[in-house]
Homo-oligomer: A and B are copies of this chain.
Amino acid sequence: MSQQLIDSIKYLIRLSAEEELLLPDLFNRVTLKKNDYFLQEGKVSTQVAFIETGLLRYVMNHKGEDISAYFSGENEWVGNLESFLSRQPSTRSIIALEPTVLWTASRDNLQKLYDTVKEGDRMGRLIIEDVFVKSSKQITSLYTGTPEERYYEFFELFDKIQHRIPQYMIASFIGVKPQSLSRIRSRLSRKH
């Protein structure tokens, strides 16, 4: 079992010694190589996962081009809740950007966690609150942000992992061509 996962849960909720003993039955360790899929567009998501090490990106295909819509790194949770909850095919893929170690939970095991851990639902609520706030910021930025503002937003959202993300993926996240991102970067660097 992953001490890092246990610590991450204990950061959010009280977990009794007995409850801690349930966790090894609920999570499976999975390793991904760079470019391996955690979830493939068109398939139904059946797992959520805690990231022990590594980095993943959420990718949407738009007219043959890949758009990176989100990134998740160590100590974050990864999954496509839309597909996971509705059991509909996923509209995005989730792909390892680095060698990655995950602790995955199936739908049944996540429900078991909610049902048997006293504060399991609180843990779920707090994790989803956090990702919901991030997605709200992303929506604001997509509606009203200039490319420069979206570039700043990118750094705010992905502060700890931004240096591990290739420029062309940052460009698609903020919705510009890679050449435009270079121009934005040089404009901003002249300002500072």
Contact = CB atoms under 8 A, between A and B. Distances in A.
Interface residues of A, number: 33
A142 B144 contact: no
Interface in A9-24: none
Contacts of A67: 143-144
A129 B126 CA distance: 11
B81 A140 contact: no
A125 B130 CA distance: 12
Interface in A78-109: 80-82, 85-86, 91-92
Interface of A: 60-62, 67, 69, 80-82, 85-86, 91-92, 114, 119, 121-122, 124-125, 128-129, 131-133, 135-140, 142-144, 175
